[in-house]
Structure 1
């Protein structure tokens, strides 16, 4: 098999983008946020809009982690909305897409945002029943969804056993989207400290965040770390660390591209319907430029102490290439331009967590992840606002969704 070059971020135009200065000295704010992915930037945007003095610390640069190198799919829906108000929760989640679209337009963020379906085919016979069950569940909640019978699903050329189609989802260029959000919060006056590693967070009447260059203090802190939550022991039991990996081919010529799927398959997001998150599954995106992105595999164990696995994993790249070649034999000798990977966050119950951290006064955790964190993550600020400024600042449906996001904490 050919050697697969590793890249940290295939989507980044510049591997060393402009950074703000790291924190130097001591500072205060009304609220401080740890992590500047889409979750942290969403919180910064909404809280600054509400008039607060907001400071954000980011270990690397905005766009370095999963917010800047995912596959570009944006779906806010959960697999299980519980039994209390599932219709309300599903409607609120679907409305997240409208909020994202409006935000991108308001801030003039050019990231190729477009509405599109999200396809979930059954790659094995055993998953066919899962397809039917998921389609019926979403339809019962009023989510725009349809199911496709096995013989009618022609967006891939490998065998499938039907598919769920979530209509009216979205896609975007991941790096340009998160960098655009960075620019938006800076324009609003948010203080962003990139290249700033957090050594400790201490709750209390005033939360203290300690870094190598100084300290930040504020009445409230939001930990928007998702896959990196494991660096704090008091967050570890809420998440299961996972890693995912992707390879991308050179641009395919027209004839080769048609062996992957018909023209409508271009720029559609297709993820295997998995019976459980521990089951090996794969995903793909045939982009309009002819490149096929193919990734997935099984759950990759993470390493102590921070529960992080390597971003470059030759064994996983080989496994992914082998599966791509099995599904599409014509691609076996096509050149692979790059491979990359990174941590993703799976919460223990598979639903988002936005809640106060028990026994850590005035610290809020915002953990969405679960493979579809961009849709909800970009709306996290709307939820966190209620924990920072009070529930009376939220409308009824947003309060209901925030309550849903606290169920994992209540059950712990």
Structure 2
């Protein structure tokens, strides 16, 4: 049984502020050495998160002789791929699902993306902590619950099978206070991204992919051969992949298309089966609510409750698009306290639980919330995928397959999907960006966006 101390009384020393819940229980990690000297590659991938590692995996699998290199500024999974809420979700943010064919196409693409993640883990026997027993969207308003019920019935006629749970049925599956109903997607789940990326590193190295950690790219000079300047040397590549999501504007790309948003997350100590039952958590991987500032939670296989979102306080935009959150996690104390209050609002029993982890991750947000995947540049040799806007666990892993197909000229299956070459823009420059974000969120309690 979890300890009966209040979360708010936990001493700072009891909270692991250095590691996320995803990295805490893993084995010791030794990064590969940084780049030293000048080298040549066919494809140089900037970024060692889901997008970069997935792209490297699919490229080397399809083209075994290709010289593929991954350059990671710090360590694999250091960014949002290792600092998220862990939920593998269907759908693409920013899309209006009115057309049956488009709706089926999007759902099947993301469901297949989750299938691919699980199949990859099984094929290579990777020690990746994950679960796939469904996630829920919880409706907190009767009118929205009724609309969701109708939507589930409509989707069923389009061949998409979801389950609507009324408040009584939901209470037996997930004891969320104030819920009027929920939609369950049994194909969704939870993934430990740190496990996945560190496990895949060995697979990449065995297949000849060169990986360099602690190797930030300082400058990109485009041309028929692209030059990447790093602290230890220069990489000359026939093509590059921008796999840097919210960090991409720092390289000079998509400055008006994506902005970095810092997302704060907390996790409790492991709960045994009795403690989970007392909390009201049944057999489900996670849930999100229907608010604009979405609150979300997931339960790890070890029983840690991960919780984030729920208010403006759970997110931060820093002037100039800074991608490193200042100070230690203690500097975001009010944010973590706000998240804790939302958690205990949904689960009153969580007052008795102790926090074990709190961390901040940098998301890549677009104004429409729609991501983009494609290729650009005078020589059509700069590939990119970014702007996942909170759905990156599924979409960033899917991006590896998409970019590989675009590289191979075999991308017909993706061309009708809304993210394909989607033009990103509409984000104003500073100081209007910083002022607009903070004024809008303070006045409305919502996140600024526009309809795609």
Fold shared, TM-score > 0.5 on shorter chain: yes
1:408 is aligned to 423
Which deviations, in whole Å up to 9, do the C-alpha atoms of 1:8-27 show, x marking residues without a partner?
A: 32222469621111111111
CA contact (8 A) 1:147 1:163 kept: yes
Deviation (angstroms), 1:126: 6.6
- TM-score scaled by structure 1? 0.87
Give the whole-Å Cα distance in 2 for the aligned partners of 1:337 and 1:270: 20
Deviation (angstroms), 1:140: 5.3
Of 382, 388, 413, which aligns to 1:397? 413
1:121 is aligned to 138
How many residues of Structure 1 are paired with residues of Structure 2 in the alignment? 402
Deviation (angstroms), 1:121: 0.0
1:82-93 matched pairs, under 5 angstroms: 83=99, 85-93=102-110
Give the whole-Å Cα distance in 2 for the aligned partners of 1:245 and 1:303: 14
2:18 is aligned to 7
Of 353, 367, 374, which aligns to 1:348? 367
Q: Secondary structure at the match of 2:134?
A: strand
1:215 is aligned to 234
Give the whole-Å Cα distance in 2 for the aligned partners of 1:109 and 1:35: 21
Give the whole-Å Cα distance in 2 for the aligned partners of 1:240 and 1:156: 35
User: Are 1:387 and 2:401 matched, yes or no?
Assistant: no
Of 289, 292, 295, which aligns to 1:282? 295
Q: Secondary structure at the match of 2:188?
A: strand
2:59 is aligned to 47
CA contact (8 A) 1:55 1:190 kept: yes
Of 133, 144, 148, which aligns to 2:165? 148
Q: Secondary structure at the match of 2:189?
A: strand
- TM-score scaled by structure 2? 0.80
Q: Which runs of 4+ in 1 moved over 6 A?
A: none
CA contact (8 A) 2:218 2:251 kept: no
1:296 to 1:133, Cα distance in 2 relative to 1, 3 A: farther
Deviation (angstroms), 1:218: 1.1
CA contact (8 A) 1:230 1:307 kept: no
1:241 to 1:123, Cα distance in 2 relative to 1, 3 A: farther
Give the whole-Å Cα distance in 2 for the aligned partners of 1:354 and 1:92: 14
Of 7, 19, 22, which aligns to 2:34? 22
Which deviations, in whole Å up to 9, do the C-alpha atoms of 1:52-78 show, x marking residues without a partner?
A: 110110011112222123333212422
Deviation (angstroms), 1:96: 1.6
1:324 to 1:408, Cα distance in 2 relative to 1, 3 A: same
Structure 1 residue runs without a partner (length 5+): none
CA contact (8 A) 2:245 2:363 kept: yes
1:56 is aligned to 70
User: Are 1:71 and 2:90 matched, yes or no?
Assistant: no
1:189-208 matched pairs, under 5 angstroms: 189-208=208-227
Deviation (angstroms), 1:193: 0.8
Deviation (angstroms), 1:224: 0.5
Give the whole-Å Cα distance in 2 for the aligned partners of 1:134 and 1:237: 34
CA contact (8 A) 2:414 2:420 kept: no
